Chains A and B, each alone.
Chain A
Amino acid sequence: MGKVFRFHKDVDTDQIIASQYLLYPTVDEMKVHAFESLDANFASEVKPGDFVVADDNFGCGSSREQAPAVLKALGVRAVLAPSFARIFYRNCINIGLPAIVCDGLYAAVETGDEITLDMEKGTVTAKGRTFPCTKLPVHLQKILDQGGLISSLDNPEA
């Protein structure tokens, strides 16, 4: 179970982590600025195991892998939206942050609500309601299960 941080439609990667912080040497130094322009308290309030829930086209804009990386570094368990921008989605899989396509959830929850994710069943439970989510193709799930592309390259047979 984790807390929801809810964001709108078309959230671009500049809002997830602004350009000026990309020059910081490490993701750990950037992460305190996540979502700064949309919710200045996000980075201090989010706890490991919490969720980002958004409307369509989450992560549009630039190719910066730091966008999913700062969320993962802050302990975000998964990002859930009806749809994701292409590069953001690939980057999530490659770094091992679950980006989960889920219809209906955005309209049903508010920031602060508690939800439960069952990746194996492919469901999210919020306020007693269960929402189905789209499962990943097997080879992508394998990359995700191994914690990202680097770990999966290390274990090609796994």
Chain B
Amino acid sequence: MGSTLIEKIFAHNIGAASVKAGDIITVNVDRVMIHDIFIPFVKDKFEEMGFQKIWNPERTVLIYDHLVPASQLDDPRHHKIGDDFCDKYGVRNVHRSDGICHQLMTEAGYVKPGDVAFGTDSHTVTYGCVGAFSTGIGYTEMASILGTGKLWVRVPETIRVNIEGTLPEGVTSKDVILTIIGDLRADGATYKSLEFAGSTVEAMSVASRMTMSNMTVECGAKCGLFSPDEKTAEYCGLDGLDSFLQTLHGDDDAVYAQVLNYRAEDFVPVMACPSQVDKIKPVTQVIAEASEIEEGNIVPGVGLIKDGSIRVDQVFIGSCTNGRLEDLQAAASILKGKQVAPFVKLIVTPASRKIYREALADGTLATLAEAGAMITTPGCGLCCGRTGGILTDNEVVVATNNRNFLGRMGTSKVNIYLASPITAAKCAVAGKIVE
């Protein structure tokens, strides 16, 4: 009997011939990531547990991104505690203003295909884009890994997602993963591995795959995996795929909990509507429903109806979901030679310093700035509602990040619509939700 992708990664990690879904195993951790919000709690737990040293400082990465640049009085304290922790325990992999943790972990080469990685953040699932197992944990478990280098996991069942064909013009991997989340619902993949395959995902860039892996936690998944290929090897700086990495695909005779089959041509631009990530509607449907509401009405959970659609107060293009070069370029292609609507605040936040510099060099940032964008420092930015751009009651933001939970970007009456960078840029120009 064959194996799923996650079963192969875990079997290799523990040196077993095979493992099966449901097995409880203790894995050897290849890499851990801690970010600035949770480092004080990790430190306290680590010391409370009585550990004297970190099992492997080289495998430990600390990234400041949620609180960069520090904007509130409590923020610098977290960075000070992080710096002291690294000095004391010899952690040298520290990034203080280089970008979002989930971008940097693969971009800076910390996570490679086949690795097993953990992070103190639910979007740690992102590294599945290169064929690594990675998932989020709490700070107590992180402290225990820092001391031991090990963690128990249950080998998850797998939902296989096959996507074949060519995506329509203007439809991105963001529309694909939002649609899948809408079909599976917010708990449809809880405790499970999502395994993506088919000609559509093979044709995607690693950046586009990253968008999909990143959001798999929004349907509860433990990981969201792609098979490594030549594009992965190039992105990760590998000299091709070795014999183990070449085996990293789900076997045809593996046992799957569920198989979903999609035709790429069927995907359309979609949005996650306030305030659930699985409240997915085609953009055309959002507009059609708004046109049924009387002009000038403010509807809780929808927004203000203006000019026959939903008025947009702010647009956010960034985050570990959609803050990469191809995302900024896609937005720039829409905004080139245009101006955002006068009342719209457009915030663009590159996911990393490297992306920022690339977008600077190729003119993307100039195009965005000329169209009226505020371009901010790399980091989490508005996604976690900390470093600028928060909104107030009944305002509408169209955002490219991964969550639209109540209160995430300001008051609990802010309406957050999640969409692709293309849809977001179009909305910024129109000042209302448009396709």
Contact = CB atoms under 8 A, between A and B. Distances in A.
Does B associate with A?
yes
Interface of A: 10, 12, 14-15, 18-20, 22-25, 37, 56-57, 60-66, 83-87, 90-91, 94-95, 137, 148-150, 153-154
Q: Which 4 pairs of residues, A with B, have the shortest CB-CB distance?
A: A65-B138, A57-B187, A63-B136, A91-B138
Contacts of A20: 385-386
Contacts of B48: 150
17 contacts: A20-B385, A23-B67, A23-B74, A57-B187, A61-B403, A63-B38, A63-B137, A64-B38, A64-B138, A85-B190, A86-B135, A87-B137, A90-B137, A91-B140, A94-B138, A149-B144, A153-B144
B308 interface: no
Q: How large is the interface on B (under 10, 10 to 19, 20 to 34, 35 or more residues)?
A: 35 or more
Interface string B69-84: 0001011011000000
Contact of B121 (A62, A150, A154): A62
B160 interface: no
Nearest to A57: B187
Contacts of B278: 10
Nearest to B390: A20
A149 B408 contact: no
A40 to B, nearest CB: 11
Contact of B140 (A15, A22, A60, A148): A148
Contacts of A87: 122, 135-138
B140 A149 contact: yes
A35 B369 CA distance: 40
Contact of A65 (B41, B75, B276, B407): B41
Nearest to A18: B407
B405 interface: yes
A149 B220 CA distance: 23
A25 B78 CA distance: 9
B232 to A, nearest CB: 25
Contact of A150 (B45, B78, B119, B120): B45
